[in-house]
Amino acid sequence: MKKLDYLLLNINTIKILGDKIIDIESITNNSEKVSEKSMFIAIKGNNSDGHNYIDQAILNGAKCIVCQILPEKIVNSITYIIVKNVRSEYSKICSNFFDNPSEKLNLIGITGTNGKTTTATFLYEILKLQNIKSGLISTNCIKIQDKKFDTNLTTPDSYEINFYLNEMVSHGVEYCFMEVSSHSIVQDRIKGLNFKIGVFTNISHDHLNYHKTFKNYIEAKKIFFDNLSSKSISLYNSDDKNGRIMIQNTSSKIKSFSIHKNSDYKIKIVENNLEGLVVEIQKNVIHSRISGNHNAYNLLAAYAVCDLLGLEKQKITQSLSILKSVEGRFEVISENNKIGIVDFAHTPDAIKKVLLSLREYVSEKNKLITIVGCGGGRDKLKRFKMGSISSSLSDISIYTSDNPRDEDPNQIIKDMLEGVEIENRDKVLVIQNREKAIEKGVKLSNEKDVVVVLGKGHEKYQLIGNKKIEFSDKEKLSYYLKRAV
């Protein structure tokens, strides 16, 4: 339970109507979850407006309403808080409700188009190997030490974020590694959080259905670094051509990492094969179990963050050599002398990086077979590019269904086929059923061929229409590889 005046600390209110001296037992932006003495936050979303549910929230027991527009019907026993930006103030109210947990641990945020999950998970695992209590908020899951919670969003709702951060504090967690999506930034879900370090991995074509233009997408990511305090550190990938843009207006200290350009932290790839990368960081040679040139950046970012946090360099390098692949991220499955890869790559740049890495492993005598689809209800502009990249870098491409949602999967595949150059058309097959596409890919493979399934990675389901159907790329690929003759 919290006093209303405490919840309103540092909140930009325009007007308060009603009793200011009240107790609040819970806060929510969902009228169905309102209970006695709740504070209801009326947020206007893309599909619905919380202002339309104020009456229902009051009927369910809400004692306080936070809104941008006062309802026509005012109830005398209810306190109304009018603010300019409900989303922004909601995030700060959530922080206050849980006594600002981000200030009681070291919060590290990782943003970028690709590499967020891998980098955040590497960091969590490194600290775990060193017996340092840590937490993780990622696309794959939320972890508080060894306790795991499922999540549906890269960056959860403001209430969930602060709830889990508070749980971490109560369990003695010292460090939390959190993915920060562009959606969460522009929707103010991370407002009021105190980040010790912000990491920029890279940026490329994605989420343009939401941000409309690539410039807007860049600006969304940049806001994260603009809002870091002078006590924080921004760590950015200087090889990315938009890296400097991210940190040009930040008040934080600035550090960089790279493979090619001069930077504070640099990595050299000594060897790269399916058994893992051999890399050199600050004169330390690391034999990693992680494959893929693109993962060199993720290993380096993890090393740099650990160093900036003051961990011993020797312990960092030892931990990096022990790390295993993150679930659904360049995950290798070997059966019957055939090699399978499952990867979450679902953007043009991510697919290109994965396939370029795999081309290094596939000899001229062998084939690279790619099974890939595009999600429905998402950025349609990237389908053309994904079709082009897959067909040009693979020996055989099988276009299939991903998460079509409410779109026609056949139309999604047609959009992908638009990107296939004439000389590559004979290398492309269309099999809408994802399981049958995986089965066909394996059947077309011979010894030492590589079959890669892209797009869904760790996910255990397919979204078809309004149904969530159980499905795992890893399980299906493993099953058919084991049955292959």
One digit per residue, the tens of pLDDT, for the chain of length 485 reads 999 999 999 999 999 999 999 999 999 999 999 999 999 999 988 789 999 999 999 999 999 999 999 999 999 999 999 999 999 999 999 999 999 999 999 999 999 999 999 999 999 999 999 999 999 999 889 999 989 988 776 678 999 999 999 999 999 999 999 999 999 999 999 999 999 999 999 998 776 666 669 899 999 999 999 999 999 999 999 999 999 999 999 999 999 999 999 999 999 999 999 999 999 999 999 999 999 999 999 999 999 999 999 999 999 999 999 999 999 999 999 988 889 999 999 999 999 999 999 999 998 899 999 999 999 998 898 999 999 999 999 999 999 999 999 999 999 999 999 999 999 999 999 999 999 999 999 999 999 999 999 999 999 999 999 999 999 999 999 999 999 86
Co-location of 121 and 72 in the same domain: no
Exposed (0-12), middle (13-18) or buried (19+): which is 150, by Cβ within 10 Å? exposed
Co-location of 354 and 387 in the same domain: yes
In sequence order, what E strands does 45-151 have? 62-67, 79-83, 106-111, 134-137, 142-144, 147-149
Co-location of 274 and 352 in the same domain: no
Co-location of 237 and 352 in the same domain: no
- The total number of residues shown for the chain amounts to 485
Cβ pair 473, 456 in contact under 8 A: yes
Question: The domain containing residue 66 runs over which residues?
Answer: 2-97
Tokens standing for 191? 């407002």
Cβ pair 65, 54 in contact under 8 A: yes
Co-location of 106 and 63 in the same domain: no
**Total domain count for the chain?**
3
pLDDT (0 to 100) of residue 208: 62
Cβ-count burial 449-467 (b if 16+ within 10 Å, e if not)? bbbbbbbbbbbeebbbeee
Torsion of CA 405, 406, 409, 412, to 10 degrees: -90
Exposed (0-12), middle (13-18) or buried (19+): which is 183, by Cβ within 10 Å? middle
Tokens standing for 282? 């600050």
Co-location of 385 and 463 in the same domain: yes
Final residue of a structural domain among 45, 76, 97: 97
CATH number of the domain enclosing 90? 3.40.1390.10
Straight-line distance from the first to the last Cα atom of the chain, in angstroms, rounded to the nearest whole number: 63
Co-location of 417 and 476 in the same domain: yes
Q: Which of 203, 360, 371, 199 is nearest to 292 (CA)?
A: 360
Tokens standing for 428? 């492309």
pLDDT (0 to 100) of residue 376: 96
Cβ pair 471, 461 in contact under 8 A: yes
Cβ pair 158, 91 in contact under 8 A: yes
pLDDT (0 to 100) of residue 154: 66
Q: Are strands 331-335 and 284-287 parallel, antiparallel or unpaired?
A: unpaired
Q: Which of 382, 322, 393, 326 is nearest to 356 (CA)?
A: 393
CATH number of the domain enclosing 308? 3.40.1190.10
Q: Which of 220, 230, 271, 224 is nearest to 253 (CA)?
A: 230
Co-location of 122 and 84 in the same domain: no
Co-location of 227 and 371 in the same domain: no
CATH number of the domain enclosing 441? 3.90.190.20
Query: What DSSP line would sit under 350-397, residue for residue?
Result: HHHHHHHHHHHHS-TTS-EEEEE---TTS-THHHHHHHHHHHHH-SEE
Q: Which of 402, 299, 297, 391 is nearest to 345 (CA)?
A: 402
Final residue of a structural domain among 82, 97, 112: 97
pLDDT (0 to 100) of residue 153: 65
- Helix or strand holding residue 186 (H, E): helix 182-186
Give helix then strand counts, H and E, for the chain.
16, 26
Distances (CA, A) of 169 to 133, 155, 180, 263: 10, 19, 20, 34
DSSP state of 405: B
Final residue of a structural domain among 81, 97, 113: 97
Co-location of 142 and 242 in the same domain: yes
Co-location of 364 and 392 in the same domain: yes
Cβ pair 425, 316 in contact under 8 A: no
Tokens standing for 219? 């600006």
pLDDT (0 to 100) of residue 261: 94
Co-location of 138 and 158 in the same domain: yes
Tokens standing for 131? 């017996």
